[in-house]
Amino acid sequence: MSYVERKSVLVIGGGSVGTIAALNLQSGGSTDVTLVLRSNYNAVKENGFHIDSCDHGTIEGWRPSIVRNTVPNIIEENIKPYDYIVLSTKNIPDIPPTVVDLVQPALPSTNTHTTLVLIQNGLNIEKPFLESHPKTIVLSGVSLIGSAEPSPGKIVQDDRDRLMIGPFANPNLSTSSAADDAAREFVELYGKAGKTDCKFSPNVLHDRWRKLVYNACLNPICAITGLDTGRIRLADGAVDGLVRPAMREIVEAARKSAGVELGDDVVDFMLEIDELWLYLSPSMLADVRKGSFLEFENLLGEPLKEGKKAGVAMPTLEVLYQIAKAVQWRTKEQRGLVQIPPKRKTEK
């Protein structure tokens, strides 16, 4: 029997999405997974993950091959370059460190070996990496999953994992065949355990604009109103007055700015993609409730910018963006990142 070398995968971000990704990759038996954790590191180091998953069942005390709380510096630590780096953190460019700075220790700018996989939401997320790592293959991961981490190290997945993988266009590479091959190999590794639906998708731009119909609309509207995906559909006038107009603006922006046709049924599909009775809290609503920073620039700011550049009127998205920006400022003040003048007493 011939020996097949296992692939090395570094997953940065062990929240609800990254942990399920690490679990799928490790369970397939062809990868050694290193998982970088932050706030939940101590809980996982001591007890492992407790996972309740509609795909994997109940798993107690699970850990991947290696768990650590820092991104490996492969040069200083004399680590062989990883075959794949999966970035599954929130992408919040207005809060340091940037995603490029975060990955840099494990991915030198001159890299030509490691493939970078961005399982992150939003538009134009690849552009900083195409500038900083011009010879690196960068893959898009569009994830459709219902999962949450209600407490450190406890992962609840109540909607199946569906992941679409495809290569971002990279003008710095002479051919796209290597990127296609890397994407197809990653799909095989991710789905090898047979517990997930992971597919190769060559039309990355279509995938990302299509998900924005949900993420640029329902996500911030739920966060701002404090209503989950079921209650927002029950609330008087919210769907017809807020959600549908926002979604139609994204559909038009996709068509005019990128030539992406999303289909006549995409608005109804995204409205009903979550069963009403699940009462799911989108990630942005969960972040507001936890007092965390919002991932709004790539979800709202970038499609808004692209649509307006193409001449699309986007009044609903404009208001949502400005409110999200104000909410972010509030969190920055609470975290001591902005200073305001002290309150003065009125002279009588």
Q: What is the pLDDT of residues 206-220, one digit of tens each?
A: 999 999 999 999 999
Is pLDDT above 80 for 62?
yes
Query: What is the C-alpha separation between 109 and 135, in angstroms, rounded?
Result: 8
pLDDT in tens, 122-155: 999 999 999 999 999 999 999 989 888 999 999 9
pLDDT at 345 over 90: no
Q: Which among 104, 163, 106 is positioned nearest to 129, based on CA atoms?
A: 104
Q: How confident is the model at residue 40 (pLDDT cuts 50, 70, 90)?
A: very high
What's the chain's average pLDDT? 95
pLDDT one-digit tens code per residue, 104-124: 999 999 999 999 999 999 999
Whether 1 shows a pLDDT value over 50: the answer reads: no
What's the pLDDT score for residue 161? 94
pLDDT at 3 over 60: no
Provide the 10 A C-beta neighbour count for residue 70: 12
pLDDT band, very low/low/confident/very high, at 69 (cuts 50, 70, 90): very high
Report yes or no: 98 and 21 within 8 Å, Cβ to Cβ: no
- Report the chain's C-alpha Rg in angstroms: 21
pLDDT at 137: 97
Q: Which residues of 116-142 are buried (b: 16+ CB within 10 A; e: fewer)?
A: bbbbbbbbbbbeebbebbeebbbbbbb
Mean pLDDT of 305-318: 98
The two beta strands, 115-118 and 84-87, are: parallel
Question: What is the per-residue pLDDT for 243?
Answer: 98
293 vs 158, which has greater pLDDT? Answer: 293
pLDDT category at 4 given cuts 50, 70, 90 is low
* H/E element, 285: helix 283-290
State pLDDT tens for residues 242-272: 999 999 999 999 999 999 999 999 999 999 9
Rounded CA separation 193/270 (Å): 29
Q: 72 preceded by cis ω (within 30°)? A: no
CA distance 198 to 61: 25
Confidence of residue 33 (pLDDT cuts 50, 70, 90): very high
Provide mean pLDDT across the span 58-70. 97
Instruction: Please tell me the least confidently modeled range out of 78-92, 128-142, 166-180, 223-237.
Output: 166-180
Of residues 123, 115, 119, the one with CA closest to residue 142? 119
Q: Where are the beta strands (DSSP E) in the chain?
A: 7-12, 31-36, 49-53, 57-62, 66-68, 84-87, 115-118, 138-151, 154-167, 197-200
* Residue 18 DSSP SS3: helix
Task: Domains for the chain: give ranges and CATH numbers.
Answer: 7-202 (3.40.50.720), 207-334 (1.10.1040.10)
Query: Would the pTM of this model clear 0.85, i.e. be above it?
Result: yes
**What would the mean pLDDT of 89-99 be, rounded to a whole number?**
94
| 69 within 8 A of 41, measured Cβ to Cβ | yes
